[in-house]
Chains A and B, each alone.
Chain A
Amino acid sequence: MTPSSSYRPAAEVSGPPAGAYAHAPGIPALSAEPLDVVGLLSRAHHPGAGAVVLFSGEVRDSNRGQAVLGLEYEAYAPLAEKLIAEILAEACGKWKLHIAVAQHRVGTVAVGDSAVVVITASAHRSEAYAANRYIIDRIKHEAPIWKCEHYADGTKEWGNNCNCHAVTGDIHKHIYETDPKPQP
């Protein structure tokens, strides 16, 4: 596809220099209480942002054909908070975001409830979308947060672990959805 005349890669978008952005304005990365999705969104507006993207990862009622009653999330909080802050800061610099917020639940989360919210605000939508996907992808692969699925038959399972090491051969190296796909 030929880029239109209005196409501008993120790196060319004008704005304040990287690092000058307010990511996660006073919002903790982990919450033991239900996530206030609307409240978080209300705090993610910025006069310089023409685009705000919100992702909410929510608990499904089934997994691999089994009925799910709910999930229990556990985190190694000090490292999870530190890592999420680093991811947000990196995304702010890379996509020149005005706002970046990520908040993840710990504890028991019911079907239909939000387990994680990521909000990104930027001048234009392409950066907000790209940054949002990057942030949730990295949180899912890297942050020391785990879910235990509680099934309707009374069983439970810690699962859906990041399995990138099977391909990369390194437990510290991951394959992200946002990575360029290898050419056939």
Chain B
Amino acid sequence: MKIHVYAGLKDYFQPEFELREEIANTDELRAVLVQINGNAGPLLSTCRFAVEEGFIDKNFKLNAHDTVVIIPPSSGG
């Protein structure tokens, strides 16, 4: 599974990386990422997730070939 992160998450992870674990949904993905870097936990708990240019919720079934974009709270404007 390919992961892309933005903004403040880049303080904790590379902008793009790959995970080999079996991850079924965003809750599991968040848990794996917290294992990698526990300091990212508070920010990850506020992030939205997107696949194929659309937001997904925790019920969305993730696949190994997905590219998941992790989206911190917006701060545009």
The interface of chain A, by Cβ under 8 A from chain B, is: 57, 73-76, 78-79, 82, 104, 115-116, 136, 139-148, 158-163, 165, 171-172
**Whole-angstrom distance from the CB of A91 to the nearest CB of chain B?**
16
Q: Is B21 positioned at the interface, with any CB of A under 8 Å from its CB?
A: no
New A-B pairs, 9, CB < 8 Å, besides A145-B76, A146-B6, A148-B7: A74-B7, A79-B53, A115-B77, A139-B77, A140-B74, A144-B74, A145-B77, A146-B76, A147-B76
Q: Is B69 positioned at the interface, with any CB of A under 8 Å from its CB?
A: yes
Name the CB-closest residue of A to B15. A74
Name the CB-closest residue of B to A106. B76
- Evaluate contact between B77 and A76: CB separation under 8 angstroms: no
- 6 interchain pairs, CB-CB under 8 A: A79-B54, A104-B77, A140-B77, A146-B74, A161-B73, A171-B73
Name the CB-closest residue of B to A115. B77
- Evaluate contact between B46 and A165: CB separation under 8 angstroms: yes
- Evaluate contact between A76 and B72: CB separation under 8 angstroms: no
Q: Which residues of A contact B55 (CB under 8 A)?
A: 79, 172
